Amino acid sequence: TNKMGIVDKWLKKHSVAYSGATRHPFIHSIRHGTVDLSSFKRWLGQDYVFVRASVPFVASVLLKAWKESDDSSDVEVILGGVAAFNDELAWFKKEASKWDVSLSDVVPLNANLRYCSFLESLMSSDIEYTVAITAFWACETVYQDSFAHCLEDNSNTPEELRETCERWGNDGFGQYCLSLREIANRLLDKAPADVVSKAEVVFLRVLEYEVEFWNMSHAET
């Protein structure tokens, strides 16, 4: 409907990297119903650690929006994301007990620690709001796109994994990701060239970290 934003251009330009993050073998295995349950459990425990660690990052994006945004509806969109954490952490606890995963015993693997430190580096006040919201959009969108793929009509996702896929693959979460995309596009449109380049690099790094995150599901330990 709208004209193509900068983020939409990046999705085309970097479509191979984007598909690498959203069509990972782990996602294919869920969608095909061949997923190894020990992989799923490992992902679940690692993602709980990641989601907890991303709370301060999202709070920092909220703070930047409140200080720097020219549109007060940004704060509301991001606040929606902050508010969803409560429910999300409760969901992880419920899901973990269903699969006999002990969340208090999860040891964060290196790829997870690296992704968390990357998010932490983006909390710095030196990082522009435009760059930070681009990272946040990319992070949420990879999950939305990946799990929505597992819910498509021709998918064979096992019944007991559907709730997980719906958590990020549902239409409401899809709308929320579109709202984040609109904010990113609006800010990038007005940003100086060096900030746009920084945001593009950050977008690509998020895609890499997401691939490494999925890769942990088939880690040896």
* Nearer to ligand HMH among residue 136 and residue 191 (C-beta): 136
Token readout for 147 is: 């799990």
Residues near ligand HMH, by CB under 6 A: 47, 50-51, 139-140, 142-143, 210, 213
Residue linked to tokens 């996702």: 157
Nearest approach, Cβ of residue 37 and ligand HMH (Å): 19
Nearest approach, Cβ of residue 206 and ligand HMH (Å): 8
Of 182, 210, 212, 220, catalytic: 210
How far is the C-alpha of 186 from the C-alpha of 144, rounded, in Å? Answer: 21
Residue linked to tokens 């983020």: 7
* Nearer to ligand HMH among residue 66 and residue 85 (C-beta): 85
CA 30, distance to chain mean position in Å, is 18
10 Å CB burial of residue 207 (0-12, 13-18, 19+) is buried
* Nearer to ligand HMH among residue 116 and residue 196 (C-beta): 116
How far is the C-alpha of 85 from the C-alpha of 10, rounded, in Å? Answer: 28
Q: For residue 200, indicate whether it is catalytic.
A: no
Nearest approach, Cβ of residue 216 and ligand HMH (Å): 9
Annotated catalytic sites, by residue? 210
